[in-house]
Amino acid sequence: MHFRTIIEPFRIKTVEPIRRTTREERKAAIVEAGYNPFLLRAEDILIDLLTDSGTGAMSSRQWAGMMMGDESYAGARSFYRFEAAVQKITGFKHVIPTHQGRAAERILFGSMLKPGDIVLNNTHFDTTRANVEYRKATAIDIPIPEARQPELIHPFKGNMDLEALERILAEQGEKVPLVMITVTNNSGGGQPVSMANLRAASEICHRYNKPLFLDACRFAENAWFIKVREEGYADKTPLAIAQEMFSYADGCTMSAKKDGLANIGGFLAMNDDELAQRCKAMEILGEGFPTYGGLAGYDLEAIAVGLEEVLDEDYLRYRIRSVEYLGERMDEAGIPYVKPTGGHAVYIDAKAMLPHIPWHEYPAWALSVVLFLEGGVRSVEIGSVMFGRQPDGSEKPAAMELVRLAFPRRVYTQSHVDYLAEVLAYVNGLRDRIRGLRMVYEPPVLRHFTARFEPAHGALVEE
């Protein structure tokens, strides 16, 4: 290779304008939204990094595939294409489409959990935790201790703590109907899980007769990290690596809005015949007949093509590099973030950046609001607003106060990232003047989606 620049491995065929606004317009918009970025209108946002979920750009092959969608109620051709695409990667016998990832979680936990049960996970994603707790079971996170130190560099910070896994299974195994591993570990910083960790966790689970499920939303990004960071995988294709990852599991839940490169969709897959039967019965109640599961035939086509495209090496190299590039710009500006950068997102360490804001005034939430106010950038808090409310109604600080900047797939280019880096450096310059927030409304579950706030000390950014 003579050339070092990693380019976006696509050319742009359709464009969608984004709109600049003034600071006054953004101020009015965020006040109207109760200082909750989830309640903003998307058209008031310049660069939307709220999530990488369902926000990607589809390829011309995916759009062409959609024209081939078979909308038959049962046994549609599109289902069989989708099923074959999922089985090629995962090897699982039963593939149950769902309208998105959380529906797969609801069906799985609805079929497997009873009150008092325990589910172990490297780190539960928010909907995963909520679906476990909705069944009156307990969701326990057991990441390796390194995962909780934002500044510490570790190649596989998403790994599960195998000693904790073994200990909990030995002491309370009768309460644990399944173990999950999230690849990559979204709430823990988008950090990957190594093949060695997956293999060892699988061995432990099976020794205790517990099924291991992958929360596979970002399986392709995880496969890429294994390829470039784990010994023995450099010459393997992302597909072969993904196949090995799934070979250690008994099933998976998946949001096709992430590494399915689709705008909607998901699936639940497994080998166990009897469990699949129970899941399909629940599927019909909530999602639809098991060959469409809440999706149109054309959605199944888009996912089938997306699952193939997401394992392309040029795509994965560009994807992971874009995120890493922002991290390098943040290093130059001295902005603390979870290191190394993850697969789909950069996580700013708001606790380190805003040490003067106490956790109960939600430093990461405040920072996320300021990024919108100053630069028109939308991000999301992963901190004490998202995780502080306990099932018993009490409140305690989350392990970390992070602001996630999630990258939609194939949407933004390097100049967008350069702009973003400038906004971050500017906001970092204001950090001593940023103040906390007070929550003035919260719903009973998943409060971050609809909670409303006010500045706790007059102004959010002191004059």
Ligand X SMILES: *Cc1c(COP(=O)(O)O)cnc(C)c1O
Among 55, 90, 122, 255, binds ligand X (CB under 6 A): 255
Q: Which backbone phi and psi does 380 adopt, to 5 degrees?
A: -140, 140
Binding residue (CB under 6 A) for ligand X from 106, 129, 257, 351 = 257
From the CB of 82, what's the least distance to ligand X, in Å?
16
Q: Pick the closer one to ligand X by CB: 221 or 361.
A: 221
* Cβ proximity to ligand X, 59 vs 127, nearer residue: 127
Q: x/- binding map, residues 206-245, to ligand X, per CB under 6 A?
A: ---------x-x----------------------------
User: Does the footprint of ligand X cover residue 102 (CB under 6 A)?
Assistant: yes
Q: Does 55 bind ligand X (CB under 6 A)?
A: no
Q: Minimum distance from CB of 256 to ligand X (Å)?
A: 7
**Residue 182 within binding range of ligand X, rule CB under 6 A:** yes
Contact region with ligand X (CB under 6 A), list: 98-106, 162-170, 244-252, 436-444: 98-106
Give the whole-angstrom CA distance, residue 184 versus residue 191.
5
Residues 285 to 344 in contact with ligand X, rule: CB under 6 A:
none
Residue 53 lies near ligand X (rule: CB under 6 A): yes
Residue range at the interface with ligand X (CB under 6 A); choices 79-87, 99-107, 198-206, 289-297: 99-107
Stretch near ligand X under the rule CB under 6 A, chosen from 75-83, 191-199, 220-228, 251-259: 251-259
Min separation Cβ 126 and ligand X, Å: 8
Considering the rule CB under 6 A, would residue 110 count as an interface residue with ligand X?
Answer: no
**How far apart are CB 283 and ligand X at their closest, in Å?**
15
The yes or no reply on residue 202 touching ligand X (CB under 6 A) is no
By beta-carbon proximity to ligand X, the closer residue of 102 and 351 is 102
Instruction: Give least dist CB 254 to ligand X, A.
Output: 8
Q: Name the residue whose CB lies closest to ligand X.
A: 101
Residues 6+ apart with CB under 8 A from 413: 8
CA–CA dist 387, 64 (Å, integer): 41
97 binds ligand X (CB under 6 A): no
* Rounded least distance, CB 19 to ligand X, Å: 26
The distance of closest approach from Cβ of residue 125 to ligand X in the complex, given in angstroms and rounded to an integer, is: 3
Paired with 266 in beta bridges are 98, 255
**Cβ-based nearer residue to ligand X, 62 or 185:** 185
Residues that bind ligand X (CB under 6 A): 53, 100-102, 125, 127-128, 182, 186, 215, 217, 255, 257-258, 266
